[in-house]
Structure 1
Amino acid sequence: MSDRLVIRARTLVSMAGEAPARGEQLFAPLRKLDDAALVLVDGRVEEAVSWKRCSPPPGAEVRDLGDVCLAPAVVNAHCHVQLSHLAGKTRWGAGFTAWLESLIAHLREPLSAEAITEACEDMAARGTGHVGDFAGEGLSLVDDAARRSGLGITHFCEWFGMDAPFIDAVRPWPPRCRAALEQDEERPVADISVPLEARCVPAGHALYSTAPEVLRDARQWCAANGRVFALHLAESPEETELLLSGSGPLAELYQGIVLPDDWQAPGMRPLALAMKLGLMGAGTLAVHGVQLDAQEMTVLAASGAALCLCPRSNSHLGVGEAPFLSAVENNVLCCLGTDGLSSNTDLDVRKEAVFLRETCDAPPEALLRLLTVNAAEALRLPCTGRLEPGQPGSFCVLPEALSF
């Protein structure tokens, strides 16, 4: 017998028929349905109609959520779930290098399955339907926790290191991720509904922390396989200083540890270096972009790359403001992420949108697009971001600041 459920709410913004939006398209009105009924059969949308026109299917459960505005489940396009045990342990407000130094001090601590599970369950409970997780270890722990909580997940397996041993059979996959994928292949077929590798892509950490050869290999693998390549880009003034001159606090912290003794600064700003290495273009997701100037934002847009903004994390660390307005003015495809609990108070990506509403006066129409259809486009998730007939019926309750 099919599972039939009817959700009633004051308002529903289904995003049905909506395409990813850039520039002024972000501000176009969105269709809303007042006194709405969302009819789900076996977890998929059958229809969205006004309550007066709804005839609940026989045996359907009816849930009246009251005075709330519903939307499709949102996408957290950038997160570090495996570091959830570091909540409250890092230094905020003193710049990127001070935060990073405090983070490094705790990296030898074992990952916490409990903290990872709590993080995934909390995201799912707050209406996140999919998360783009960035990690070089803890792959199986995060994947299991996400799937148990009902979260969709894309694992960006980021290689960290400039002088790591380059094993031809492994590159561009980080060794610990490759090992987790090989262990998954050895599990009995009956235990695997969808192989772990189908949710994984190789990625780089950043231009100042990942060898150029690995970045190029990961980008080429993703392009050849129709997957999204991602990296942190232009996140802090210290990154820019390091790449331009080889000096500054980040250079001092990383010299001889991450940066080889013979490493030389490329003498280029982050985006220019990424372009030179062939990393930018359609299918690339750059994360943060705080230090991109207006001209660079134009170049980013022309390349076809998407940009994930993490405004609360940037504010907490004191690295600058997420460049929402500049991205809009230059027609960049934008989405939102939370970063991780080492740089944020929670992993509720809706609050990133609320932050932009409060600091940039960004309208709900634009912010909801960033959270749904734009994020789905940036991560190449064809069945995410819209409540349309036949699609998964995952939804969220919008905060009052984003309500319609």
Structure 2
Amino acid sequence: MTAPVLAIRAKSVLTLAGESPARGAQLFAALKKIDNAVILVRGGLVEDVRPWAQARLPVGARVRDVGPVCLAPGCVNAHLHLELSHLAGRTLWGKGFTPWLASLIPLLGASSENEVAEALASACADLAGTGTAHAGNVTGSLARGLALADKACREMGLDVSHFCEWFGFGPPFVDDARPWPPRCRAALAAQPFLAARCAPAGHALYSTAPDVLRAARKACAARGKVFSFHLAESPEETQLLTTGDGPLRDCYENVVLPQGWRPPGMRPLAYAASLGLLGPGALAVHGVQLDAQEVEALAAGGTALCLCPRSNRNLGVGTPPVRALMENGGLLCLGTDGLTSNSDLDVRREAVYLRETLDVPPEALVRLLTVNGAAALGLAAGGRLTPGAPATFCVLPQALTY
């Protein structure tokens, strides 16, 4: 029996049909909008999008009029720490990166599995309810974090890519073929089906051993997976990598950093380049501390960058050079980071924040939320409302419509 058609009518729809990942001037090009539009959905997939006046509804079709709103493809939240959602409201904001980190570390592992699972269920419900279609979830902090996060996403119908994050300098990975952090390795052994949605990842240049970062990058390239890591997030990171001192050194000394650790004496981008971590297939996150030459080099090398501006504001680490990043032609997308450094997981609010504080045009922000986010996560067909695509969409906030 053929599934019935659901006709979703709205004031306007941005399908992003025919759109490629946008860089540079392409970000600011006009988007094709269908006014007084209808999305025809059958079996959970888009069958067509057209003006209401041209709709030919089959017998038995159900019509849902969502009113005077603009619909767009479901958002891609390219970077968030889902499994730490139970720590919302319990960390220190506004005092800098290291005080926030010092407030977070004692909380890791201090909660029950039920508490973690309940917070994950709530977080994933919020993601789905605000129109997120795909999440780039960083995992590996908690013993059962990967399995619990994946289960919560599946139950809410969220697509997810898991970045299995190495943190620390030892013990080393098992071998080059399996550079999975221990907690994620255990989850994959128990539930092998998770592997299709997982990739090894690094935490950061100052908190993950260089050989592990290189091995994880190599493994991702061999498997056609995206490699992700935090880059140039805070002034403390730059200080630690260049001079080897500062508050981050004091926080990590003989706890994360091994005895006798010496700084590479390079700024974050140069150090990442020296380890072979950059280029197509790599997704760096934050980029707040990039200078003008580094912005140009990052874009020229083909590394994607995920911006999490509200998290950066809340922690007091600065504002990423958004305009320069856009104008230099890098592949940019958006993420919320997580509830330890953000008030919610609605990635549309990252876009609204950039619109209101930096006057970034809405056309660029819609692309960052959709096709660019999909491309940054290696999702070739994501971020568009076209026939055959999943019928996942979001309501664009007023600030992002035109």
Which residue is equivalent to 1:13?
14
Among residues 197, 216, 219, which one is paired with 1:199 in the alignment? 197
Equivalent in 149, 153, 167 of residue 146 of structure 1? 153
User: Hey, what does 1:124 align to over in structure 2?
Assistant: 128
Alignment of 1:171-190 (within 5 A): 171-185=178-192
Corresponding residue for residue 304 of structure 1: 302
CA distance in 2, matches of 1:132, 1:19: 20
Would the aligned equivalents of 2:176 and 2:219 in 1 still touch at CA under 8 Å? no
CA distance in 1, matches of 2:300, 2:400: 30
Separation in 2 of the partners of 1:170 and 1:240?
A: 31
1:5-404 aligned within 5 A: 5-110=6-111, 111=113, 112-136=116-140, 137=142, 138-168=145-175, 171-185=178-192, 195-404=193-402
1:357–1:401 CA contact under 8 A, matched in 2: yes
Question: In 2, Cα distance between the equivalents of 1:65 and 1:150?
Answer: 21
Unaligned ranges ≥5, structure 1:
186-194
Q: Deviations over 1:236-294 (max 9, x none)?
A: 00000000011000000000000011100110000000000000010000000000001
CA deviations on 1:120-147 (whole Å, 9 max, x unpaired) are 1110010000000001130000000001
CA–CA separation in structure 1 for the residues paired with 2:108 and 2:177: 23
* Partner deviation per Cα, 1:204-245 (whole Å, 9 max, x = no partner): 000000000110000001111111000000000000000001
| Cα distance, 1:162 vs structure 2 | 1.3
Give the C-alpha shift of residue 170 in structure 1. Answer: 7.8
Secondary structure in structure 2 of the residue aligned to 1:105:
helix
**Contact in 2 for aligned 1:9/1:37 (Cα 8 Å):** yes
The one-letter amino acid of 1:278's match is: G
219-228 vs 162-171, which deviates more?
A: 162-171
Q: 1:170, 1:178 within 8 Å by CA — same for their partners in 2?
A: no
For this pair of structures, how many residues does the alignment match? 395
- Using the alignment, how far apart are the partners of 2:351 and 2:4 within structure 1? 33
Partner of residue 191, structure 1: none
Contact 2:173 2:181 in 1 (8 A): no
TM-fit CA distance, 1:384: 1.3
Post-superposition shift, 1:165?
Answer: 4.1
Aligned-pair CA distance for 1:169: 7.7
Shift in alpha-carbon separation, 1:120–1:276, aligned structure 2, 3 A:
same
What amino acid is the match of 2:119? Answer: A
Output the TM-score relative to the length of structure 1: 0.96
**Counterparts of 1:232 and 1:373 in 2: how far apart (Å)?**
22
Any idea what the Cα deviations from partners look like across 1:143-174, whole Å, max 9, x if unmatched?
Answer: 00001001000000000001334433885100
Q: Which amino acid aligns with 2:134?
A: H
Aligned partners of 2:173 and 2:180 also within 8 Å:
no
* CA distance in structure 2 between the partners assigned to 1:307 and 1:17 by the alignment: 23
- RMSD (CA atoms): 1.1
Tell me how far apart the structure 1 counterparts of residues 58 and 122 of structure 2 sit (CA, whole Å): 35
CA contact (8 A) 1:3 1:43 kept: no
Give the TM-score, by structure 2 length.
Answer: 0.97
Give the Cα–Cα distance (whole angstroms) in 2 for the partners of residues 5 and 382 of structure 1.
Answer: 26
Letter of the 1:96 counterpart: F
Q: Which has the larger displacement, 338-347 or 108-117? A: 108-117
3-state secondary structure, aligned to 2:6: strand
Of 241-250 and 162-171, more deviation after overlay is shown by 162-171
Are the aligned partners of 1:313 and 1:339 in contact in 2 as well (CA < 8 Å)? Answer: yes
Q: Which amino acid aligns with 1:98?
A: P
**Residue equivalent to 1:189:** none
Cα deviation, 1:43-77, whole Å, max 9, x if unaligned, reads 11111111111122221211000010000000000
Q: What is the rounded CA distance, in whole Å, between the counterparts of 1:167 and 1:66 in structure 2?
A: 55
Q: Distance in 2 between matches of 1:166 and 1:64?
A: 53
Give the letter aligned to residue 67 of structure 1.
Answer: P
